[in-house]
């Protein structure tokens, strides 16, 4: 189940897009009842697109490296003529008249949109178990959360229904379900991928990112998605890169930092898995350095203020006209978000550039940071408190704690699987780099993926 192998097979005439689409639809029919990863399966549209793409393939006309391959899209991202709900009753029958820019780019590369994946309502929650269309269930254990808010995208890839999916990430919403569902998820540098046509949660924190089975596939998707868009006020104009270019290159001599703040209050199994990654890196010639980052607490506070203030602004009309249609927990969080005062938000933005500069000082010492993606294993659906050592923490706080800082700073952050717990639940490790260093993170991630053996792995759903 890799995008790379699918394209090679299509190009060689060994498989057709119609066959890939039918295989994906079969797996969705078989596995989605247990996961509830999809809100809308676009079977008719996907079949029609596949037929057209196969006719082009017969003429050796390939649109791009996703030619004929099914891709799933989080239901926060507009798809022309395909229902886009934001996981909410408010948009239960919403059919966009235009694609989001990222969907245009995927289709220009030949992707077939197979359906829209479940999301925590309005993406305002990291658990993934609050959607008008029902709870999303972890493919490794249906009693556990997938993580959110890109819950369905993580579950769809993790359960082998698709080889690639797109999510959004405001406080960790690509990386959290990637870790919980045993897949690879990238939150790129802020401004690298256009957000035009994606429903906002927080204007200056939102990112769109790819979710896949492998590092190489993830880079392939980012290559398609990335690029300047004048319609997005946050888009940054830069030269287009090949984010897979550094994959397979020697990593010996590179330096990885182990930041103290990210290792506070971590479950033992998570800590052990990440420590194993550190040892693997050392064995392949990477230098490891423990680093101190005193700025983290200020960044964490500023991120919370920012998301609450901006979510309040986004949902003024929703709260005025549709409050009775909202999930109670999402409604309560939006009410709580209104408590942020204007001066607090302004202060969080005034000091933002200086906090980002202070965060990035660590990259004068190391090339990238290595952290757990989540400090805990996926919790039970509906569980709202978790005990870590001798301390009790809200599940929401724990899930967001290690991912949300780089939504505020905009640094690229990559989560990849690094093992399973004794109970068989996935554990993820996170690589963080300075701005625009996605290629380096993929290089480091691929080296770890190879050392762990995850390119050879076939989880129980991919048999």
Which residues are part of the catalytic machinery?
A: 74, 149, 173
CA atoms of 402 and 296, how far apart (whole Å): 10
Check: CB of residue 335 under 8 Å from CB of residue 312: no
- Residue found under tokens 């260093």: 437
DSSP 324: G
DSSP 142: E
Burial class (CB in 10 A: 0-12, 13-18, 19+), 445: buried
DSSP string, 13-75: TSS-HHHHHHHHHHHHHHHHHHH--EEEE-HHHHHHHHHHHHHHHHTT---STTTT-EEEEET
Cα dist from 67 to 17, 55, 162, 245, 434, whole Å: 8, 11, 14, 21, 32
DSSP 148: S
What contacts 313, CB < 8 A, 6 or more positions away?
A: 203
CA atoms of 100 and 115, how far apart (whole Å): 14
N-to-C CA span, the chain: 10
Query: What does residue 287 show for φ and ψ, rounded to 5 degrees?
Result: -85, 135
């Amino acid at each position: 189940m890799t995008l790379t192998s699918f394209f090679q097979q299509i190009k060689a005439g060994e498989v057709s897009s119609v066959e890939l689409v039918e295989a994906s639809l079969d797996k969705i029919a078989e596995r989605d009842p247990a996961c509830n990863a999809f809100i809308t399966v676009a079977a008719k549209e996907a079949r029609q697109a596949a037929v057209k793409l196969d006719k082009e393939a017969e003429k050796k006309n390939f649109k791009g490296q996703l030619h004929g391959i099914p891709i799933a899209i989080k239901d926060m991202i507009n798809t022309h003529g395909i229902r886009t709900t934001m996981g909410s009753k408010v948009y239960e029958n919403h059919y966009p008249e235009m694609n989001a820019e990222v969907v245009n780019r995927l289709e220009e590369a030949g992707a077939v949109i197979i359906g829209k994946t479940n999301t925590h309502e309005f993406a305002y929650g990291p658990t993934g178990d609050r959607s008008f269309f029902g709870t999303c269930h972890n493919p490794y254990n249906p009693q556990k959360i997938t993580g959110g808010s890109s819950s369905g995208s993580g579950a769809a890839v993790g359960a082998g229904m698709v080889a690639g999916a797109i999510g959004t990430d405001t406080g960790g919403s690509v990386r959290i379900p990637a870790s919980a569902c045993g897949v690879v998820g990238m939150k790129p540098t802020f401004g690298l991928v256009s957000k035009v046509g994606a429903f906002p949660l927080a204007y200056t924190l939102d990112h769109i990112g790819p979710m896949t089975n492998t590092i190489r596939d993830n880079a392939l998707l980012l290559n398609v998605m990335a690029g300047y868009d004048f319609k997005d006020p946050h888009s940054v104009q830069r030269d287009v890169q090949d984010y897979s270019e550094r994959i397979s290159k020697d990593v010996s001599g590179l330096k990885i930092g182990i930041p103290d703040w990210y290792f506070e209050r971590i479950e033992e199994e998570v800590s052990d898995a990440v420590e194993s990654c550190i040892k693997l890196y050392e064995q392949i010639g990477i230098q490891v350095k423990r680093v101190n980052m005193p700025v983290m607490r200020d960044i964490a506070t500023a991120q919370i203020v920012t998301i609450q203030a901006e979510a309040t602004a986004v949902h003024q009309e929703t709260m005025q006209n549709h409050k009775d249609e909202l999930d109670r927990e999402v409604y309560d969080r939006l009410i709580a978000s209104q408590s942020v005062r204007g001066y607090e938000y302004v202060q969080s933005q005034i000091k933002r550039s200086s906090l980002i500069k202070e965060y990035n000082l660590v990259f004068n010492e190391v090339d990238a940071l290595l952290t757990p993606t989540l400090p805990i294993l996926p919790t039970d659906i509906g569980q709202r408190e978790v005990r870590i050592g001798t301390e009790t923490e809200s599940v929401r706080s724990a899930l967001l704690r290690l991912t949300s800082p780089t939504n505020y700073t905009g640094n690229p952050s990559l989560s990849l699987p690094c093992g399973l717990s004794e109970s068989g639940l996935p554990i993820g490790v996170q690589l963080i780099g300075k701005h625009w260093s996605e290629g380096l993170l993929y290089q480091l991630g691929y080296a770890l993926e190879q050392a762990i053996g995850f390119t050879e792995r076939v989880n129980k759903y991919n048999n």
